[in-house]
Amino acid sequence: MSSTIKRSLENNSHHRRSVAASLVQGVYTLERDRRQNRQGPQALAPPWWQFFNFRLNQLLIDNHDLSYFGAIYEFNFQYPYQNYLGQRPPQYVIAFRGTINKPGNREQDFKLNLHCIINNLHNSTRFQIGLESVREIVYRVGPENVWLAGHSLGSSIALVIGRQMVKHTQKFHLETYLFNPPFTSPPIERIKNEKLKLGLRLANSVLTAGLAAAANYAGASHSPKDHKKNDPFIALSSWIPYLFINPDDPICSEYVGYFQHREDMESIGAGKIGRLATKHSIGSIFSGNNCEAFHLIPCAYLSVNLSACKSFKEAHGIHQWWRQDLEFKYKLYQYK
């Protein structure tokens, strides 16, 4: 990592991305230190936050396996702090790690992955612990002073917490960095045939929109005007998290198609179907969870890593996101 990253978290996308990714890596390393009983000078985790002038404020511990799944970092300078560009770093960053496929972590982490698949992450203890920690800090210092960050499973936790803060906690909008967030759908984006890809997405949108319309009609108790007013998807459209996607990673690659397909549906005159399908997933409809899938969001600053990857591990890993030699495609998607 270049020493220029250390320049007071200036308002530069590479620097901010690198800081967020490194603090997430700090959580992974904290858990590995715990498992291998590395303490004091032998611990490998502290440089991941100390390099950026943060200190470890609190560990987030899973009460089932006692693993460290998250951490709260506090900026280690007098606050409020401004760098030479007049930009201010976050006072606190709450970061969440993803799955560790090792003995001692594998069982509980895979259970959380199952929660994601069945659209039930909000009932997990990790989500509840994370949400309460975020609420306490936001109420104390204000949402403008707090970042959320997560990778893989951890980005799912950060995403659902960020959504909750918008919908149910006085509409707080937290700056949020989501690395390789899971999208529980077949990875259509990896299909090379563009016509086949478009056809599959179109068929899926028509099916999803039809099922959603039927479910909404069957459960309707308000007028269409009231339904629109209370639509959580519309409420969420004012929150724009940062999504970092690698198209070679089947776990997250469908986010690329999810946003692009919405624009494609508008261009062919099927915008109404596209907008309705965007707000739901088939799994969430059948789960009965208010027809709202945890991985769906209205808006995002989407950053796609176009650099070649040699393996799934490289395409899905957190380590790619602090590299300076990445080739990116950026786009802001907004739900209207």
The CA distance from 164 to 294, in Å, is: 11
In the chain, which ranges are E strands? 54-61, 68-75, 92-96, 146-151, 175-179, 242-245, 300-305, 328-333
Task: Average the pLDDT over 10-17 and give the result.
Answer: 74
pLDDT digits (tens, 9 = 90+) for 255-277: 988 888 777 777 777 667 766 77
Q: What distance lies between CA 38 and its chain's CA centroid?
A: 29
The CA distance from 54 to 93, in Å, is: 9
As a whole number of Å, the end-to-end CA separation of the chain is 39
Task: Average the pLDDT over 180-208 and give the result.
Answer: 76
Task: Average the pLDDT over 196-224 and give the result.
Answer: 66
Residue 8 has what pLDDT? 42
pLDDT digits (tens, 9 = 90+) for 126-182: 999 999 999 999 999 999 999 999 999 999 999 999 999 998 766 799 999 999 999
Q: Provide the mean pLDDT of the chain.
A: 83
Q: Is residue 10's pLDDT more than 60?
A: no
What strands lie across the sheet with 92-96, from one edge to the other?
54-61, 68-75, 92-96, 146-151, 175-179, 242-245, 300-305, 328-333
Task: Average the pLDDT over 40-68 and give the result.
Answer: 95
Q: What Rg, from alpha-carbon coordinates, does the chain have? A: 20
Residue 5 has what pLDDT? 42
Task: Average the pLDDT over 81-90 and give the result.
Answer: 64
Q: What is the phi/psi pair of residue 15, to 5°?
A: -65, -45
Q: Is residue 11's pLDDT more than 70?
A: no
The CA distance from 52 to 2, in Å, is: 12
The CA distance from 72 to 140, in Å, is: 14
